[in-house]
Amino acid sequence: MKHIISLLMENESGALSRVAGLFSARAYNIESLTVAPTEDATLSRMTIVTSGSEDVIEQIIKQLNKLVDVVKVLDLNDGRYIERELMLVKVKATGIFRDEMKRMCDIFRGRIIDVADGSYTIEVTGSSSKLDAFLEALDKSAILETVRTGASGIGRGDRILKV
């Protein structure tokens, strides 16, 4: 099952590679991993999307907690959470495609952020599955390029991950 794990770690060089190395060394899956500093410059916040049996997820959480640079770990799936990912898609926008792309973009609440003679660049945010659905809805031959950030997640309501 897919899990979204959030963690706070010391904002130190090498901290990211400790996490990435842990996943490869112990053969855990990583679907996506995003990291950036927080409002406290000494801390980085990482969101890891992974999958595995409950036993594997339990080990992943324990192994992450064991890393000396990791301050706090939270499995967002233990409660209610919000997940968002940003995707930029460059699509063909010529002839009949031009209107069709605009309509599709509106349906998925995307925004066209760059316009060229033959293409649009569309920005879409949402859960990873929404972004997947958007790509599926497009004609494959119309997609020129995609780039995705990987998911970020946050607990709903009073669920807070903070030091």
Partner 1 sequence: MEDRTSPHSHQISGAEILIRCLQEEKVKFVFGYPGGAVLHIYDEIFKQDAFKHILVRHEQAAVHAADAFARATGEVGVALVTSGPGATNAITGIATAYMDSIPLVVISGQVPAPAIGMDAFQEVDMVGITRPCVKHNFLVKDVKDIAATIKKAFYIAATGRPGPVVVDIPKDITAHFAKFEYPASVEMRSYTPIIKGHSGQIKKAVKLLLEAKRPMIYTGGGVVLGNAAEELIQFARKLGYPVTNTLMGLGGYPSTDNQFLGMLGMHGTYEANMAMQNCDVLLAVGARFDDRVIGNPGHFFSKDRTIIHVDVDPSSISKRVKIDVPIVGDVKSVLTEMNELLIAETKTPDAGDIKSWWQQIDTWREKKSLVYKNSTEVIKPQYVIEKLWEVTKGDAYVTSDVGQHQMWAAQYYKFDKPRRWINSGGLGTMGVGLPYAMGCQLANPTAQVACITGEGSIQMNIQELSTCHQFRLPIKVILLNNRYLGMVRQWQEFFYENRYSESYMDSLPDFVKLAESYGHVGMNIVNPADVEGALKEAFDMKDRFVFMNFITDQTENVFPMVPNGKGLSEMILAGEE
Angstrom distance (rounded) from CA 90 to CA 77: 32
Q: Which is nearer to partner 1, 68 or 116 (CB)?
A: 68
DSSP, residue by residue, 54-86: HHHHHHHHHHHHHSTTEEEEEEGGGS-EEEEEE
Pairing type for strands 43-51 and 32-37 reads antiparallel
Q: How far is the CB of 5 from partner 1 (least distance, A)?
A: 15
Q: How far is the CB of 12 from partner 1 (least distance, A)?
A: 9
Tell me which residues touch partner 1 (CB under 8 A). Answer: 9-10, 13-14, 17-18, 21, 25, 55, 58-59, 62-63, 65-66, 68-71, 163
Q: Which is nearer to partner 1, 14 or 95 (CB)?
A: 14
Task: Kindly give the interhelix angle for 15-25 and 54-66, rounded to the nearest 10 degrees.
Answer: 150
Q: Which is nearer to partner 1, 66 or 80 (CB)?
A: 66
Q: Which is nearer to partner 1, 25 or 116 (CB)?
A: 25
Q: How far is the CB of 46 from partner 1 (least distance, A)?
A: 13
Angstrom distance (rounded) from CA 55 to CA 46: 22
Q: How far is the CB of 69 from partner 1 (least distance, A)?
A: 6
CA triple 87-91-97, angle to 5 deg: 135
